[in-house]
Amino acid sequence: MRAFNRFKTDEMIDCAVGGKRGKVALYNLSCGGCMIESGSKLLTQGAEVALVLRERIEVSGRVAWRIGKNAGIKFEQALHPRVVEQFGYDDEEFDRHDPRDRFGIPLVEMLHAGAGRLD
């Protein structure tokens, strides 16, 4: 289970890894990490990464996983929720599309009144 809600995005951002800089596609973002897409072979699991999310907002992290061109980045320090909000999202909007209980467990609709009952 994730500690933070993730928000979909589709933006090109600056990325630095292994002394090289370039643009990567940012596909989702949370206070604790993000998913990017890049063809760079430098984005191996455990590699240190620096991302520029917005002007003057740079965040450091490590590649947590890599599948094809997609890589999951775990930030060294959690972003403030206001940074995530700058991408046009807030927890209220996310919760409308992904409702969860106070423990972060997704709420699902009961498809049948007797679902889960053993009679």
Q: What is the pLDDT of residue 106?
A: 56
Q: What is the mean pLDDT of residues 54-82?
A: 92
If you average pLDDT over every residue of the chain, what do you get?
78
DSSP state of 100: B
Q: Is the pLDDT of residue 6 over 90?
A: no
Domains of the chain by range and CATH? 7-97 (2.40.10.220)
Q: How confident is the model at residue 119 (pLDDT cuts 50, 70, 90)?
A: very low
Beta strand segments in 18-118, E: 20-29, 33-37, 48-54, 57-67, 70-75
Q: Kindly state the DSSP code that residue 85 receives in the 8-state scheme.
A: H
Instruction: Calculate what percentage of the chain has a pLDDT beyond 90.
Output: 45
